[in-house]
């Protein structure tokens, strides 16, 4: 069961870390074109959203009457650490590249993490990786396109 608790935290934390942070980065970039806003947003996500997701996993696991306390806490802490580190990893391109290159590098990094995680999950479940990759990368692309469009709209509406 400990392995399942770790897997839950890692899978949820990494996926949420990529999707939430990429959405924020792309939306803020198209809405503000501000490196400061994007880095501030990433650090905020790394703290607040990681804690929120960890609490969500904690409460979700507590709702299972068969869950052991130790497994609940393992899933909680693993989610917190995985999400926080994943989100913070997106700061690196911002520190070393110009803004446009950093956005491109972030999208590539996020898509790579989702692809690797999806492939690993598909293999573990005995499923066809192509379908799992298409589903997960498709959802990631929808998030990127939607947040970019919303950022564009905000830039026009509130500028």
DSSP letter string, 74-137 = HHHHHHHHHHHHHHHHTHHHHHHS-HHHHHHHHHHHHHHHHHHHHHHHHHHHT--HHHHHHHHH
Please report the pLDDT score of residue 88 as a whole number. Answer: 98
**Nearest partner of 13 among 67, 60, 64, 75, judged by Cα:** 75
Token output for 32: 């503000």
Say yes or no to pLDDT of 149 above 90: yes
Please give the pLDDT value at position 2: 82
- The pLDDT tens digits for 75-100 are 999 999 999 999 999 999 999 999 99
Q: pLDDT, tens digit, for every residue of 3-45?
A: 899 999 999 999 999 999 999 999 999 999 999 999 999 999 9
Q: Determine what percent of the chain is predicted with pLDDT higher than 90.
A: 97
**HSE on the CB side for 33, CA within 13 Å?**
5
pTM summary value? 0.93
CA dihedral 111, 89, 33, 149 (to 10 degrees): 30
Residue 56 has a pLDDT of 97
* Helix 2-32 vs helix 50-62: crossing angle, to nearest 10: 140
Tell me, what's the pLDDT at 129?
96
Query: Is the confidence at residue 1, as pLDDT, over 80?
Result: no
Determine the Cα–Cα distance for residues 41 and 120; give it in Å rounded to an integer. Answer: 30
pLDDT in tens, 52-73: 999 999 999 999 999 999 999 9
Q: Where are the domains of the chain?
A: 2-158
Tens of pLDDT, residue by residue over 123-143, are: 999 999 999 999 999 999 999
The rounded distance, in Å, linking the Cα atoms of 159 and 156 is: 6
Rounded Cα distance between 47 and 6, Å, is: 20
């Amino acid at each position: 069961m400990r392995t399942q608790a770790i897997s839950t935290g890692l899978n949820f934390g990494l996926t949420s870390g990529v999707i939430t942070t990429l959405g924020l980065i792309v939306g803020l970039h198209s809405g503000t074109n501000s490196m400061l806003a994007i880095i501030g947003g990433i650090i905020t996500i790394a703290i607040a959203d990681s804690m929120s997701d960890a609490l969500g996993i904690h409460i979700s696991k507590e709702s299972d009457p068969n869950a052991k306390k130790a497994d609940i806490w393992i899933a909680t802490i693993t989610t917190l650490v995985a999400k926080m580190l994943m989100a913070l990893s997106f700061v690196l391109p911002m520190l070393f590249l110009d803004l446009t290159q950093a956005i491109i590098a972030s999208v590539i990094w996020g898509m790579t993490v989702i692809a690797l995680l999806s492939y690993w999950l598909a293999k573990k479940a005995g499923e066809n990786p192509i379908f799992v990759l298409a589903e997960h990368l498709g959802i990631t692309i929808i998030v990127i396109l939607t947040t970019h469009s919303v950022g564009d709209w905000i830039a026009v509406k509130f500028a």
